[in-house]
Amino acid sequence: MEYNYIKALHLIFVITWFAGLFYIVRLFVYQIEASEKPSPEKEILEKQLKLMAKRLWTIITWPSAILAVGFAIWLILMRTFYLTDAWMQVKLGFVFLLILYHLKCHQIYKQLQKGVVKHSSNFMRLFNEGATIILFAIIFLVMLRNAVNWIYGVLGLIAFSVLLMLGYRFYKRLRENGNS
């Protein structure tokens, strides 16, 4: 019974963590585009977007990440036998990638808060798909567990990634042609 409560809390914070990651990168896109605007529009937008990013990052995303990982550790301590399952080991690999993605977002967040722009808005749009790929991988691993045929799973993830990239290129063309 206690396990299900901890699992529910873990899932709630995983959802809010991903929501924060998806939205923070969207804010990065807006911040980068605002930095290219003329004054005074540039300064007005930058000030507002920095405030929005700060609130999202410090009040929602970081706390959600910490709580999601904390409840995950608690779950693993309650069911240590899962650590021997191949699906869990692969899932933990994707969680590690998610943490690296989060830390990279933190680095970009800090740069943009200081007004330092090192990436294009197009790069950030593409970067945003990293969290999507990790989310899909983790959800399918957890839901299918031992039913996953690893070859099909890997091929499916590659195909999904290719479709995301093609969708991105299509969207980029639309934006360049002024149709978005």
**Residues in the annotated binding site for heme:** 10, 91
Q: Residues forming the annotated binding site?
A: 10, 91
Burial 145-180 (b: 16+ CB within 10 A, else e): eeebeeeebeeebeebbeebeeeeeeeeeeeeeeee
Neighbours of 122 (CB within 10 A): 15
Helix residue ranges, H only, the chain: 2-34, 41-55, 62-78, 86-113, 121-127, 129-144, 150-176
